Amino acid sequence: MEETYLLNVEGVKKKILHGGQGELPKLQDGSKARLSLGQFTFHFQTLKDDFERTVIDDSREAGMPMEIIVGKMFKLEIWETLLSSMRIGEVAEFWCDAIHTGMYALVSRGMRRIAEGRDPLEGQKHRCGMGNMFDYHSTGYEDLDELQRTPQPLIFIMELFRVEDPSAYKRDTWAMSKEEKLAAVPVLHSEGNRLVLRREFAQAAAKYQEAVICLRNLQAKEKPWEDGWLKLESLVTPLVLNYCQCQLELGEYYEVLEHTTELLQKHNDNAKAYFKRAKAHAAVWNEREAREDFQRVAHLDPSMAAAVKKELKQLGERMRKKHVEDRKRYQGLFQSGQGL
């Protein structure tokens, strides 16, 4: 379809390049073209309205589709309107006047940082979007600096893949506010514990890991070892230990060694961390390291002495069995070598 027509919005034109299927997204009260809360997933291209139709951004080149949370004050509100006019599978081209594109430079900077694996909010002041526009003299990208200095009409080519129901919506960790992250942690912790009881260790580990990421993001804004940082660290430690327990159950012993060692570098009196590291050492035949860690556990927490004694007995039996098997293997190799 090549028909060009105006949306019921000033300064916007739409051309459908490929028709979609199904109904239009459900609108809220018919007053604004936005869902009460939901998520659009789509690919997009942003072009200048010049003779060459210069490409500014292309989500396919970045290797990831775009997701926006509708009704949650996305900086470029016009995108909510554009997407709400599309059906699943539709490809459409939108021309938008400069009155709608003034914030694009900031939005694009965030998207580019995500594609580069960086925090899109890195270095931002706690100000509204328009305030940030004046705070930043440079976006760090030359082409976006030009758009920021001289807002201009832009062309957006969008392909809509999915519209998720509000009940299916899940925020990315980086997009959460401080309060949302703090509120999410106990929920994730509880979900992880529930999954452990069902012996769904991989899923439980993912919950614990997500909670740790929330807390680490908050810690990055605190001064290390000061009260705020320490309070968050006290929440991180049990989550890391739970995560390591799941990895032990899954046989991911080297990952346990990595995380417990990192934890013990900051908290060298944590008996549970030594215990889990000892079990991981034992599993990969690091006998000396395992014995040293088990002994530290018994010294730090006498109430764990019985558990340590049991583990040391099992370690000794496993090591003796391994030595016997190794001797037989080497003797067999030696004898076969003699026969040649």
Which CATH number is 227's domain given?
1.25.40.10
Contacting residues for 56 by C-beta, under 8 A, at least 6 apart: 46, 47, 48, 108, 143, 144, 147, 154
Domain span at residue 152 reads: 4-164
- Asked whether residue 332 is domain-assigned, the answer is no
Model confidence at 26, pLDDT cuts 50, 70, 90, reads low
- Whether residue 329 lies inside any domain: the answer is no
Local confidence band at 329 (pLDDT 50, 70, 90 cut-offs): confident
Average pLDDT in the 13-35 region? 68
Q: Which residue has the higher pLDDT, 175 or 223?
A: 223
Is residue 153 located within the same domain as residue 8? Answer: yes
Average pLDDT over residues 26-47: 63
Instruction: Report d(CA 177, CA 273) in Å as an integer.
Output: 31
Is 139 a residue whose pLDDT tops 50?
yes
**How many whole angstroms separate alpha carbon 82 and alpha carbon 70?**
11
Looking at the structure, do residues 149 and 234 belong to the same domain, yes or no?
A: no
Q: Supply the pLDDT for residue 128.
A: 40
CA-CA-CA-CA torsion sign (248, 253, 255, 259)? positive
**Which residues have CB under 8 Å from 159's CB, separation 6+?**
18, 42, 43, 44, 89, 90, 91
Q: Is residue 188 part of a domain?
A: yes
Residue 238 lies in a domain: yes
What's the CATH number where 67 sits? 3.10.50.40
Is 131 or 76 the better-scoring residue by pLDDT?
76
Q: What is the end-to-end Cα distance of the chain in Å, rounded?
A: 79
Q: Do 270 and 204 fall into the same domain?
A: yes
Q: Among 164, 194, 211, give the residue marking a domain's end.
A: 164
| Model pLDDT for residues 96-107, shown as the tens digit of each residue | 999 999 888 888
pLDDT band at 130 (very low <50, low <70, confident <90, very high): very low
Q: Are residue 187 and residue 127 in the same domain, yes or no? A: no
**Do residues 99 and 187 share a domain?**
no
312 and 210 in one domain? yes
Structure confidence at residue 337 (pLDDT): 55
Same domain, 88 and 151: yes
**Residue pair 8/24 in contact by the 8 Å Cβ criterion:** no
| Domain identity same for 112 and 183 | no
* Within a domain: 227: yes
What percentage of the chain carries pLDDT values higher than 70? 79
Same domain, 100 and 233: no
pLDDT at 197 over 60: yes
Residues 234-258: tens digit of each pLDDT? 999 999 999 999 999 999 999 999 9
At residue 32 the predicted structure's pLDDT band, cuts being 50, 70 and 90, is very low
In a domain, 334, yes or no: no
147-175 mean pLDDT:
77
Give me the number of domains the chain comprises: 2
Mean pLDDT of the chain: 81
Domain check: are 259 and 226 in the same one? yes
Q: In terms of domains, do 38 and 159 share one?
A: yes
Averaged over 127-149, what is the pLDDT?
A: 64
